[in-house]
Structures are given as structure tokens and as C-alpha cells.
Amino acid sequence: MNVSLTPSAAPEGAAGPPPLERVDLRREFNEVGIGEVLDQLDRELIGLRPVKTRIREIASLLLIERIRKRMNLTSEVPTLHMSFTGNPGTGKTTVALRIAAILHKLGFVRRGQVISVTRDELVGQYIGHTAPKTKEILKKAMGGVLFIDEAYYLHRPDNERDYGQEAIEILLQVMESQREDLVVILAGYGDRMDKFFASNPGFRSRIAHHIDFPDYSDAELLSIAELMLGDMNYRLSPDARQAFVRYISLRKAQPLFSNARSIRNALDRMRLRQANRLVADLDRVLTVDDIMSLEASDVLASRVFSMSPRATGMAPE
Amino acid sequence: MRVTQGCFSFLPDLTDEQITAQIQYCIEKGWAVNIEFTDDPHPRNTYWDMWGLPMFDLRDAAGIMMELNECRKVYGDRYIRLSGFDSSHGWESVRLSFIVNRPKEEPGFQLERQESDGRSIRYTTRSYAADRPEGTRYGGK
């Protein structure tokens, strides 16, 4: 049994520990361990200032909410459904994974798994197929986070008999009635999400946090590239680095640029060229340094440099 | 007469919180959880109807509770039980089964004695509820 030292804190009839009177915020913060997750977020995600600020705010709110609960200051469970909008490759999925970790550490989702789905997994192909399919996914996501990528595909305005509407209705119902069991995150490109919300006002109002992911600047893209290469145990030689800076500015001006994803693809192609260059000269003795470093020629061989900046049409390889 | 079958049936009815805890136990053991219902309470009735499909690959009991509540909405006047099926090699059988919903009134069973050859007697239990046709046994339409 708990013996309370303050007489006023004695519980009235109800079992369980008496409400807290004062809280050491720092200890609470360290105990929960979100500091770590937030630091990791800062370290591993480059740029995205507004996103990080928002996540910090949410994390602080949840920390305070947790303490309030233990002080018996009841309030409604905060709505945690979110929508992430932004261009391709701005880190929406990555952030969703981190959010799940934060929510789990704070105890707002019980298990912390992330179920990532698109329209295909929610919407059926014939009458009566959609509801069980959507419910199946919802059941899997219970206790965790349901991440719906490209959520606007759920709604097809041109076809009023589209089964997507049924999935939307089930989602809305569960989002409302089982708020403490499940967090839903919708993600997609900004303009199309706006249209989606405009035609489904129920969604907009049930989502508390609308977070917009900005595009990366050239400098941020370069740091992202270096971070990715570091993880893969590669590095850019000084010449290659300069060439890559030029590559980024050229590539950005071309169509179908998808931020960090384009950078990752470019790096993969550079690795191919480097391997090819090394294998071309079989009589050479290679050092670790040779294997790790990407040279300017690996970058400059890209088609981006040979295309005129005004060229449109196909995506450059 | 209160039907006692499966686990916990001599205890007071489990609360939703207790049911959730049992389901979570099944999930953590990796068992598939099934929801079944019937209106034939005879203890030897092994043919219960399934509500949906067996539920596996879930992480949290909330999803199963959602289905259970749906089932209660439709078949709240019948017996509903949950079972945990262990598919691992060597077991391949139901590991846990308990009633989570029962009709308001359970009329009980009649014991029939049949006199057969010699002085021996054969016994049969017959549930009063089963006198009425399926679907109307516990005050259903």
C-alpha cells in the first residue's frame, strides 16, 4: 500500500496511488527518454526546421499531459492524428517512424508499431470487400501508428461509386471512437492533400496537426548526401564534392526532382560508376581509401551535366 | 442455469478490461484469436459459428475488442466465446477458450432418463432453449 505523507493527497475511496503534488520535470523528461529521440531527430534529419519545432511542441504537450494525468488533472486525451504534406522525398515517412517512437516512449500508443499502407491495402475491388480489408489493417495498427501514404488516392471525385469512400467512412469512425488506441498519419503532396481535405471536411477537423514539409535547400541536400555516404562508408573527394554541388543545382532545375530521394538515386549511380572505374583497371592494387572515395569523374559522368538546363521531358539518369 | 464451459466460467463474468488482458496474453503468445457465437448451449455442441476470420499478426488487443463489440451488437443475445489457437508444431490446437457474452436468461437443461434393456438407464441432457428454432432461442425475433 502507498502511504502518503501529505494528508490532503489521500484518495477518496478509489484505490491506486494518490495524485502527485509536485513533479521534477527534468527527471520526468529523462525517465521518458524522449530527449534521446529528439536529439536523434536533430542529428539524422537535416533541415526541416518547422517540422522539428512542431514535433518538439507535440512532445512537450504530451509530456505535460502525462504529468497532468498523474496529478489527477483530468483532460481529454489529446487528438494525435496528423497530416504530413510536402513534396516527394522530403522525409515524411522517416518522420512518421520517429513520431511513433516518441508516442510510444510517452505512452500515448501502447505498442509503437508503424503500419504503412496505401490505397491498395485499404480499398477492395468489389462490393463488400472494402470494409473487412480496411478493418483488417486497422486491427493491425491498433496500439500503434497507421501511416497512410498518398492518402488523397482514397477519394476519387470522378467516380462517385468508388469504394474509397467506404474506407474513408470506416477510418473516420475509428479515428473518432478509438482515439486512445490508434494514431493515424496521412501523408501526401501538398496541393492534392488540400483538395482531398476540401472534399472530406470530416478528415480535416479530426486531424489536429497539419505539418508541412519544406523542400531542402542546396546546402541541406549536400549534407544529406554526405550523411548518406557516411552511412554507406563512402566519401566524396574534394573535387567530387564540388562537382556534386554543381550536380545538385543542375538536377534541381530539371523536372521530376524529388529531394532526398533523387539524391539517394544519384549516389547509387555514382557508386555504380565508381565500381566500374575500379574494375576497369584490374592490375591495380587498391587501398581502403580508393574503395571508399568517389571521384569527380564519377559525378561528372552523369547525364545531368550534358543536358541543357532548359531541356524538359524525361527524367535524367 | 449458468452454463459453465471453458476457462474462467466459474468466476463472475469477466469485465472488458479483464478480457482485454486475456486477449493480450494470447497475442503475446502468438496465438490466433477467434470469436465464435452460438445459441445452442449444449456442452457437446462443438459447432459454433465464427465471427469473421481468425485474427493473427496483431499487436494489440484493441483490434479484437473492436470486433468483439461488433459481434455483441449483432449477437448480444447469444453465447460468444473467444479462443486462442496455437498453430506451432506439436500443439496445433486451441490453447485457451472462454465465454465473453451470454444470454440474459439461461433456461438450463433437462435430464432425460431412458430405460433400456435390463434395468439400465441412459441419460441425456437437453437444453430447454433448443426447443425453439435456431435464431429465436433467447428472445431473438
Contacts of B17 in chain A (CB under 8 A): none
pLDDT of res. B141: 52
Strand pairing report for B121-127 and A183-188: unpaired
Contact A113/B52, CB-based, under 8 Å? no
B67–chain A Cβ distance below 8 A for any pair: yes
pLDDT tens digit at each of 317 positions of chain A = 444 444 444 444 445 567 777 878 888 888 777 788 788 888 888 888 888 888 888 888 888 888 888 888 877 778 889 999 998 888 888 888 888 888 888 888 888 899 999 999 999 999 999 999 999 999 999 999 999 998 999 988 888 788 998 999 999 999 988 888 899 999 998 889 999 998 888 888 888 889 999 999 999 999 999 999 998 999 899 999 999 999 999 998 888 888 889 999 999 999 999 999 999 888 888 888 888 889 888 888 888 888 755 544 444 44
- Specify the DSSP class assigned to residue A208: -
Query: Which stretches of B8-129 are assigned E, i.e. beta strand?
Result: 32-38, 49-50, 79-86, 93-101, 109-115, 121-127
In sequence order, what DSSP letters do the residues of B67-96 get, joined into one string? Answer: HHHHHHHHHTTSEEEEEEEE-STTT-EEEE
Q: Do B66 and A174 touch (CB under 8 A)?
A: yes
Of B52, B57, B60, the CB nearest to A181: B60
- Cα nearest neighbour of A114 on chain B: B59
Which long-range contacts (C-beta less than 8 Å, at least 24 apart) are formed by B134-137?
B134/B39, B134/B40, B135/B39, B137/B39, B137/B40, B137/B78, B137/B103
Residue A138: list chain B partners with CB under 8 A. Answer: 63, 66
Contact B76, B58 (CB under 8 A): no
Q: Are A203 and A168 in contact (CB under 8 A)?
A: yes
Residues of A in contact with B58 (CB under 8 A): 139-140, 142
HEC letters along A87-101: CCCCCHHHHHHHHHH
Nearest-CA residue of chain B relative to A174?
B66
- Dist CA A302 CA A270 (whole Å): 8
Q: Cell 481529454 appears where?
A: A76
- Tens place of pLDDT per residue across chain B (141 aa): 889 989 999 999 999 999 999 999 999 999 999 999 999 889 889 899 999 899 998 999 999 999 999 999 999 999 999 999 999 999 999 999 999 999 988 889 999 999 999 999 999 999 998 888 888 888 755
pLDDT score for A170: 92
Closest CA–CA distance from residue B39 to any residue of chain A (Å): 25
Q: Is A104 touching B (CB cutoff 8 A)?
A: no
In this structure, what C-alpha cell is assigned to residue A254? 530539371
Among the partner-chain residues B52, B55, B59, the one whose CB lies closest to the CB of A111 is B59
Residue B107 backbone dihedrals phi, psi, to 5 degrees: -70, -15
Q: Could you tell me how far CA B62 lies from the centroid of its own chain?
A: 20
Closest CA to A143 of A98, A83, A93, A103: A103
Which chain A residue shows the shortest CA-CA distance from B51?
A132
Instruction: Determine the pLDDT at residue B85.
Output: 96
Which residues of chain A does B60 touch, with a Cβ-Cβ cutoff of 8 Å?
A: 110-111, 142-144, 181
pLDDT at position A14 is 47
How far is Cα A233 from Cα A227, in angstroms, rounded to an integer?
A: 10
C-alpha distance from residue A26 to each of A21, A22, A64, A66, A73 (Å): 16, 12, 12, 14, 20
* CB atoms A142 and B67 under 8 Å: no
Contacts of B64 in chain A (CB under 8 A): 139
- Of B52, B55, B62, Cβ closest to residue A181: B62
Whether A139 has its CB under 8 Å from any CB of chain B: the answer is: yes
Determine whether the interchain pair B66/A182 forms a contact, defined as Cβ–Cβ distance below 8 Å: no
- Distance, CA of A164 to CA of A152 (rounded, Å): 10
Q: Which residue in the set B59, B61, B64 is minimally distant from A144, CB to CB?
A: B59
Interface subset of B 37-66, CB within 8 angstroms of A: 52, 55, 57-64, 66
The answer to whether A64 and A32 have CB atoms below 8 angstroms apart is no
In angstroms, the separation between the Cα of residue A79 and the nearest Cα of chain B is 18
H/E element, B4: none
Find cell 469504394 and name the residue.
Answer: A163
Cβ contact (<8 Å) for B64 and A139? yes
Backbone angles phi, psi at A315, to 5 degrees: -70, 140
CA distances from A131 to A123, A127, A153 (A): 8, 9, 17
pLDDT in tens, B54-71: 999 899 999 999 999 999
CB contact under 8 A, A139 and B52: no
